[in-house]
Structure 1
């Protein structure tokens, strides 16, 4: 064999070894702990590593080839912080993001189709509620003490996993005199440690700036909600979009008595469900939303969906003063068994928004949005 041919053969052999090794390292990083539906996005462990951190904080996570250390960063088209290993940052690599879903559906014909809750919890539910100076600290592993739907499913490709939730809410909440929009962040935490997170990261034509956000409680899009009106985020967090049916059953919520405490809102005020009485602890009425579907047609063109207002989008609803007995944030001042002298409180309602979409107080510092779910 000529010297020239020998040189070419050595180069080919070297490439055949180095290239697969490089590909293997990249695959290992991108595929660590990743579910079947997440092949085009960051691995679940990289998401969890930054779940309670700020951008540019140091982070680390484990892959099949060892520990990876890096920095939390915010990829384009994703609201969730991701741990990017330093080696990838140096090479200019970043996580590949899934394409923005460009939905064009403009009408729905009823409530969301729900997946039966048939699955046992994957672990024991762990919840603590402690007061530390000015904070009430809510910690949990995010596992509900009730049956859930089967995940992944056709509408939600993620698998429930144990979380490390830790949220501070004000121990002595105060009304600010104003209203703070809750869309885009967790609203609160249920007594079983599962979060209330009513919004969906789905927008008309994939354009978040349009404001035409799809409502998960309608059936315009299949989001895989189970009979607890809940599903799973990419990092494995099970969360409620509507009435937590089996939680309410466990707590014996009924029309014969004032609702027990259901959870705590991010601003520290209590959350109840369906039944109470603003004036008399001993009597019970249903607490009702003042929101109604707008009449007429939506604007069309310039990124607007057109079509008839029917509840497909969150913008299809408007608050009508006096239409219900709750305010614009689905709350009011009430006397409850937990607060006999009275408190401002939020209520989960039978009709939209079900879970409130705004705050009357100031949310705790741990409720800054770190993840959006489908």
Structure 2
């Protein structure tokens, strides 16, 4: 396996390739224009670096990714530069690993995009946390693929797949729930209607869960704080980090727009934050050796549930609520 290696400086030619990306601009229709395999090949790379400074990942990267069900190969491109106090990620949103390898093929084909995100190099805690939202992408991983956790479907709204843009609406479906019938691959990812590949939970190809060391940084949230994998060093013992969210006990209310049934994880409202019950805070993060970061967990909320800092505006979506999912199943008795 290849390791993600830092390229300390970029040539003037390299910088000029994405000079137009410095404003907070992101087109989802213009293909990424870099076509040469410049920089480091990160095909199937297992990340190992633990630096929380985004500037330490400056470089140009490329990979070959296979669409398993379509039997096609595509090129992935990612460029990371710094400008002022920002790190700027530009990619074509194609992953660095085989994708679309689940039991069923994606209903939407993955297509090349032009994504540009900016994050601060000096993240700080805000006065108040910011909830994740349909109006904002959540994070960018170090293979150039975004995190977009929320589904736009809620119980009792439309057909349950789209249209639930009111973030205060209860009973939003959890797309990771095994019975939700959402087609994802082995990396907990799939394509949006416009072809944008994105993750909903653990990006299994980016770090090892069998390691004897704490997990690396695998990306950065919209507020600039790092995202670590799932393994932590607990006083010399390497173990999986534990979320502080738990399934509620009993059954949901029924009638008047409530779904009824047992709290089983089908809806995000099935979970409740219990402070101190796990390792992590309400945003799925914690501070270790003076460094705050979010952590991948095998259970809800999987990556993050809110922002401790201030999200950069480059993560704002142009069209809220475009994330359509297959129709959820009927409630089981």
Q: In structure 1, what is the equivalent of residue 198 of structure 2?
A: 239
Change (3 A) 1:364 1:219: same
| CA displacement at 1:357 relative to structure 2 | 1.5
1:368 aligned to 303, 316, 330, which one?
316
Change (3 A) 1:60 1:192: closer
Superposed CA deviations along residues 28-58 of structure 1, whole A, max 9, x for unmatched, are xxxxxxxxxxxxxxxxxxxxxxx937xxxxx
Q: Report 1:4-83 matches (<5 A).
A: 52=26
TM-score normalised to structure 1 length: 0.62
Superposed CA deviations along residues 310-355 of structure 1, whole A, max 9, x for unmatched, are 10000100011111111111101113xxxxxx31100011111111
Q: Does 2:88 match 1:134?
A: no
Q: In structure 1, what is the equivalent of residue 141 of structure 2?
A: 190
Q: Does 2:296 match 1:351?
A: no
| CA displacement at 1:153 relative to structure 2 | 4.8
- Compute the RMSD of aligned alpha carbons: 2.6
Q: Indicate conservation of the 8 Å contact 1:256/1:284, yes or no.
A: yes
Superposed CA deviations along residues 273-306 of structure 1, whole A, max 9, x for unmatched, are 111237x6x6633211000011122122221212
Superposed CA deviations along residues 42-92 of structure 1, whole A, max 9, x for unmatched, are xxxxxxxxx937xxxxx999xxxxxxxxxxxxxxxxxxxxxxxxxxxxxxx
1:225 aligned to 140, 162, 184, which one?
184
| CA displacement at 1:182 relative to structure 2 | 0.8
CA distance in 1, matches of 2:292, 2:84: 21
Change (3 A) 1:212 1:60: closer
Q: Indicate conservation of the 8 Å contact 2:86/2:120, yes or no.
A: yes
Q: Which runs of 5+ in 1 are unaligned?
A: 1-50, 54-58, 62-115, 336-341
1:329 aligned to 283, 289, 292, which one?
283
CA distance in 2, matches of 1:290, 1:217: 18
CA distance in 2, matches of 1:157, 1:172: 39
Q: Which runs of 5+ in 2 are unaligned?
A: 1-24, 31-66, 159-163, 326-333
Change (3 A) 1:151 1:302: same
| CA displacement at 1:151 relative to structure 2 | 9.1
Q: In structure 2, what is the equivalent of residue 277 of structure 1?
A: 233
Q: In structure 2, what is the equivalent of residue 296 of structure 1?
A: 250
CA distance in 1, matches of 2:115, 2:291: 26
CA distance in 2, matches of 1:245, 1:118: 18
Q: Indicate conservation of the 8 Å contact 1:120/1:148, yes or no.
A: no
SS state of the match for residue 113, structure 2? Answer: coil
Looking at CA atoms only, which structure, 1 or 2, has the larger radius of gyration? Answer: 1
Superposed CA deviations along residues 156-199 of structure 1, whole A, max 9, x for unmatched, are 42110011110011111110142110132321011000111111
Q: In structure 1, what is the equivalent of residue 55 of structure 2?
A: none
CA distance in 2, matches of 1:317, 1:354: 12
Q: In structure 2, what is the equivalent of residue 178 of structure 1?
A: 128
| CA displacement at 1:232 relative to structure 2 | 0.3
Change (3 A) 1:354 1:344: same
TM-score normalised to structure 2 length: 0.70
SS state of the match for residue 90, structure 2? Answer: strand
- The structure whose RCO (Cα within 8 Å, separation 6+) is larger is 2
Q: Indicate conservation of the 8 Å contact 1:152/1:158, yes or no.
A: no
Which has more helix, going by share of residues? Answer: 1
Q: In structure 1, what is the equivalent of residue 13 of structure 2?
A: none
Change (3 A) 1:319 1:119: farther
CA distance in 1, matches of 2:102, 2:318: 22
